[in-house]
Chain A
């Protein structure tokens, strides 16, 4: 039984002078939910398109379920894919579109169409044509198609675009259910990183076509330390007070008289008391956890908030 579901080896794609993918080495193991993080144009969609066979790499290769080369095409039938905006025949209904793909792909049993529609709450759409669907409904139908063949690997590019808040919650729940109950491995990209952080078990950070880092959710948690954010009247004096009276050097002084304190997180009272005793006004105090966005910004060289 193959442990590595998806692996890329020096995957590169150039469009003329533009290098959209630059030697990407991605590793996705069975049962993981892999969050692909990156700005617009970072190469996330290009990477997914190379993996799904929609594009041909300039260099490097892809292995799906341990199979690379010409045999990979057969392995693609074990995947469910939704990349960019879901596309269907506009003149057919949701049910007819899925039935078309079911027949084309040779998936046995008409019931799978109803099951897939039911999983994304589209059973009620009747004869309404795809062209009359809202963006959210189109997203749901795209997901239904991706799920119809009960895939071992789901590849989802920005899947929650256009979903309403209720749809996002349902979608998140569906992903967890697929992952935990059916063992479906998932590769997912999203711009809404906080949303991604609620489901991903590991991350890959992309920038300018390169995969900068792969880490597990646990590693990310360890690296993103929770802190107390203090906005004070005089940061230099406050820093001295923290050192002398509280005996801690677990803090960072930031511009704008802001101090990030990594100590006394569960009991901030001595902090405020010490600063007040020293006559340093506390303008704001909040407990703050470093988010996925912050870590990503730090990684690509942007501003780190915590």
Chain B
């Protein structure tokens, strides 16, 4: 597995796509903070608490980011027909699947550290400081990130499944976005339309959807029950989608 992981990470970090995407995100972060700093210079008072606190509202971006990390590692293997090079050498299909998922997770965590660190550093350097509120923002951030990580990981497993499942990367992207965004919207809508137990069940499922849980994180900061729910949901998604992906890929004809 270490050899496989070594190869995957080598490929990912040799891609200009990886570095360009990271560069664009960092540039956008810099632009946002620069905008605030500019307004501060003209009488506004955006402080570190406000800037860093914005992160709690942008956590759902992490769901979409899993599509990028999934795509960077999977690298169109069906489209370019490169999967046969791995299978024909006798690399177990389970190692191929889990190796890619692990590489995606490592890449996602590294990108997360770089992007969050860069953003917080910019906010710290360029925004106003208030010792009382500065200290208050870190526990909230820590709580929200702790809730977000297992949910992001579950979503990474979904993204990995979609790239392995669909021949087309575009179809995989649509399927993944559909499950993350469209399904909870539909659940929300139908739970309002149906009364009685059906409506209740739909509402319960909606409440346990990663996007819903993450949306609540900043509002209930400090509540351990949400952390436990997020951990459980993330684990169910990770195990469920990975098991489904392994099963499907083990029977797949490679062209």
Residues of A within 8 A of B (CB): 49, 52-56, 72-77, 79, 81, 83-85, 87-92, 96, 99-106, 145, 149, 155
Q: Who on chain B is nearest to A75 by CB?
A: B90
Which 9 A-B pairs rank lowest in CB-CB distance, beginning with the nearest? Answer: A104-B7, A76-B90, A87-B81, A106-B3, A52-B88, A103-B7, A54-B254, A81-B88, A73-B90
Given A100-B10, A103-B10, check contact A88 B82 (CB 8 Å): yes
A54 / chain B contacts, CB cutoff of 8 Å: 84, 87-88, 253-255
Which of B6, B10, B75 counts the most chain A CB atoms within 10 A? B10
Please give 4 more A-B residue pairs, beta carbons under 8 A apart, in addition to A49-B254, A92-B15: A53-B88, A54-B254, A87-B80, A103-B7
Q: Once the chains are docked, how many angstroms separate the CA of A101 from the CA of B89?
A: 10
CB pair B3 A104 closer than 8 Å: yes
CB pair A99 B16 closer than 8 Å: no
Residue in contact with A92 in the complex, picked from B11, B92, B254, B255, CB distance below 8 Å: B11
Chain B interface residue count, Cβ-Cβ cutoff 8 angstroms: 28
Q: Once the chains are docked, how many angstroms separate the CA of A100 from the CA of B88?
A: 16
18 A-B residue pairs with Cβ-Cβ distance under 8 Å, sorted by A, are A49-B254, A55-B253, A72-B90, A73-B92, A81-B88, A81-B89, A83-B88, A87-B85, A88-B80, A89-B11, A89-B82, A91-B14, A91-B17, A100-B10, A103-B3, A104-B8, A104-B86, A105-B7
Chief secondary structure at chain A's binding surface: mixed
B89 / chain A contacts, CB cutoff of 8 Å: 76-77, 79, 81, 101, 105, 149
B80 / chain A contacts, CB cutoff of 8 Å: 87-90
Residues of B within 8 A of A (CB): 3-4, 6-8, 10-11, 14-17, 75, 80-82, 84-92, 251, 253-255
The total number of A-B Cβ pairs within 8 Å is 88
Which of A75, A87, A155 counts the most chain B CB atoms within 10 A? A87
Q: Who on chain B is nearest to A91 by CB?
A: B15
Q: Once the chains are docked, how many angstroms separate the CA of A100 from the CA of B82?
A: 12
A104 / chain B contacts, CB cutoff of 8 Å: 3-4, 6-8, 86, 91
CB pair A145 B85 closer than 8 Å: yes
Q: Once the chains are docked, how many angstroms separate the CA of A102 from the CA of B87?
A: 14
Q: Once the chains are docked, how many angstroms separate the CA of A105 from the CA of B80?
A: 19
Within the complex, the shortest CB–CB distance from B57 to chain A, in Å, comes to 35
Q: Who on chain B is nearest to A96 by CB?
A: B14
Within the complex, the shortest CB–CB distance from B101 to chain A, in Å, comes to 15
CB pair B90 A92 closer than 8 Å: no
CB pair A103 B88 closer than 8 Å: no
Q: Once the chains are docked, how many angstroms separate the CA of A96 from the CA of B15?
A: 10
Within the complex, the shortest CB–CB distance from B79 to chain A, in Å, comes to 9
Q: Once the chains are docked, how many angstroms separate the CA of A103 from the CA of B91?
A: 13
Which of B84, B89, B92, B254 counts the most chain A CB atoms within 10 A? B89
Q: Once the chains are docked, how many angstroms separate the CA of A91 from the CA of B11?
A: 10
A52 / chain B contacts, CB cutoff of 8 Å: 84, 87-88
Q: Once the chains are docked, how many angstroms separate the CA of A99 from the CA of B13?
A: 13
Within the complex, the shortest CB–CB distance from B213 to chain A, in Å, comes to 36
Within the complex, the shortest CB–CB distance from A147 to chain B, in Å, comes to 13
A53 / chain B contacts, CB cutoff of 8 Å: 87-88, 90
B16 / chain A contacts, CB cutoff of 8 Å: 91
Q: Once the chains are docked, how many angstroms separate the CA of A84 from the CA of B255?
A: 9
Within the complex, the shortest CB–CB distance from A116 to chain B, in Å, comes to 14
Q: Once the chains are docked, how many angstroms separate the CA of A106 from the CA of B11?
A: 15
Which of B16, B82, B87, B90 counts the most chain A CB atoms within 10 A? B90
Within the complex, the shortest CB–CB distance from A200 to chain B, in Å, comes to 22
B86 / chain A contacts, CB cutoff of 8 Å: 104
Within the complex, the shortest CB–CB distance from B26 to chain A, in Å, comes to 21
Given A83-B84, A87-B81, check contact A105 B3 (CB 8 Å): yes
A74 / chain B contacts, CB cutoff of 8 Å: 90
A96 / chain B contacts, CB cutoff of 8 Å: 14
Q: Once the chains are docked, how many angstroms separate the CA of A73 from the CA of B87?
A: 9
Q: Once the chains are docked, how many angstroms separate the CA of A54 from the CA of B88?
A: 6
